[in-house]
Amino acid sequence: MELIRLLLRNTLRHKLRSLLTVFGIGVAVMAFALLRTVVTAWYAGVEASAANRLITRHAVSFVFPLPLSYRDRIAQVPGVEKVTYATWFSGVYIDKSQFFARLAVDSETFFDVYPEFLIEKDQFEVFKREHNAAIIGIDIAERYNLKLGDIMPIDGDVYPGRWEFLVRGIYQPRDQSTDPASMMFHYKYVDERVRQEAPHRAGDIGWYIVRITNPDDSASVSEAIDHLFANSRAETKTETERAFQQSFLSAASAIITAMNIMSFVIIGIILLVLGNTMIMSVRERTHEYAVLKALGFSGPSLFFLIAGESMILAVLGSAFGLLVTLPAVEGFQKSLPKGWFPVFYIKPETILFACIAGFLVGFIASIIPTRRILTTRIVEGLRHVG
C-alpha cells in the first residue's frame, strides 16, 4: 500500500510535466488512430469483397466496354451460379464535388448477386416497374434530404444529356463494410436512350459480376470465362472481386504505404516522449532511489515504482487520445469532399492496437531508467545531486 502511495506521489510530483506528457501521448495516439482509419477506409472495398464473386472486364482496361451478348455465354460456364452486369454512369449531381457511385445495372439480377444491399420488398417491386426509377443508399438520402418519390436530376458526361431519376428505393447496408452511398438504376432505361442518340454505343456494358458456386473454383472458372472470348474483338479478364478492388488501389499504393509507415512511426514518437520523461524523472530522483535501496527496498519494488509511473502516464495518454479520436475522425470526414470515403469508421482492431501499443510503450520506456537505477551503487546514488 505504501508503494502505491509513493507511486502516485511520484507521478504527480511534477504536475505540468506529467500533464504535457499525457497530452503529447494523447495527440500521438489520436494521429495513429486517424491514419489507421484512413487506411481502413481506403481498403473498405477490398474488405467488403465476397469470395464467391468474380468480375469480368475488358482485358485491356476497365474503361473499355463489353458486349451485352457475353452474358448468356458466361452463364453457361460450369460453376457459374448467376451473372449480372453494371455500367459506370458517372454524371454530375448538384455540382462536381458531390461524388458517389452512379451505376446502371441489370435490375433483375443485380440485387441477388449483392445481398448486402438491403431494400424493402415493396420498394424493390415499385423500382422494377418504373423505367427511370432509382435506388439510393441511406447515406445519400440523409446527405441530400431525399425521400421516396423525389427526383434526382443528373447532368450526364459519359452519357451526355439531362437525366431525371425517380427515387423509388432506399437501401440499408448489411454491415459496416458495405457502401451506404451508391445509386443504382435500370440499364435498360439508359440503353434505350443511347440507341436513339448514339446507336454505335448501344448494347455495351461496363463489367460483369459473376457469382460462383464454390469460391475454391474461382481460378478455373475465371480461366474458362476468359477462354470463351480469346481472340475476340473484346477479350476479357476475369478475377476475384478482391483482386478487382485492389487494382483500383494500385495507383495510390505509395500513399497508402506511406500512411502505414507513418502510423507506426508515431508509436516510436510516443516511446521517445515517454522515455524522455521517465529518464528525466529518474535522474532527478537518483538520490531518493539510493536511499530506498539503503533501506532495503528490493529491485522488484524499485521496478514497480518506475514502471508503474511510466504505465500510468502511458495509459492516461492513450485514454485521452482515444477519447478525442472519435470527434477527430468525424471532423476529418466532414472536411473531405462528399463521397471520398463512403465507408469511414474506426475499426475495433485499431482501438485494440492503440491500447496494446500504449501498454507496451509504458513498459519499454521504463526499462532504461530502471536499469540505470539498479546498476547504480548506493554510494554513487547518495552523492548524486540532480
263-275 pLDDT, tens per residue?
Answer: 778 878 877 877 8
Q: Are residues 319 and 174 in the same domain?
A: no
* pLDDT at residue number 266: 81
Clarify whether residues 80 and 223 are in a common domain.
Answer: yes
Report the alpha-carbon distance of residue 60 to residue 146 in Å, rounded. Answer: 39
Same domain, yes or no, for 220 and 291? no
185 and 319 fall within a common domain: no
* Spans of the chain, pLDDT less than 50: none
Q: What is the pLDDT of residue 250?
A: 63
- Both 16 and 131 in a single domain? no
Among the candidates 202, 233, 264, a domain finishes at 233
Q: What whole-number distance in Å separates Cα of residue 321 and Cα of residue 319?
A: 5
Query: What pLDDT is attached to residue 336?
Result: 64
Q: Which residues contact 203 (CB under 8 A, 6 or more apart)?
A: 67, 68, 69, 191
Same domain (yes/no): 200, 292: no
pLDDT tens, 151-210?
999 998 888 889 999 999 999 998 877 888 899 999 999 998 888 887 777 788 899 999
The per-residue pLDDT for 306 is 82
- Domain-located, residue 245: no
In a domain, 87, yes or no: yes
Are 97 and 210 contained in the same domain? yes
Q: What is the pLDDT of residue 343?
A: 66
For residues 194 and 289, state if they share a domain. no
* Claim to verify: residue 227 and residue 351 sit in the same structural domain: no
Structural domain of 317 = 2-44+252-383
98 lies in the same domain as 199: yes
Dist. CA 247–CA 207, nearest whole Å: 14
The 3-state DSSP class for residue 236 equals: strand
With respect to residue 307, please indicate whether it lies within any of the assigned structural domains.
Answer: yes
pTM of the predicted model as reported, rounded to 2 decimal places? 0.70
Q: Is residue 238 part of a domain?
A: no
Say whether both 21 and 107 belong to one domain.
no
pLDDT for the residue numbered 385: 61
Same domain, 78 and 203: yes
Our count of domains for the chain comes to: 2
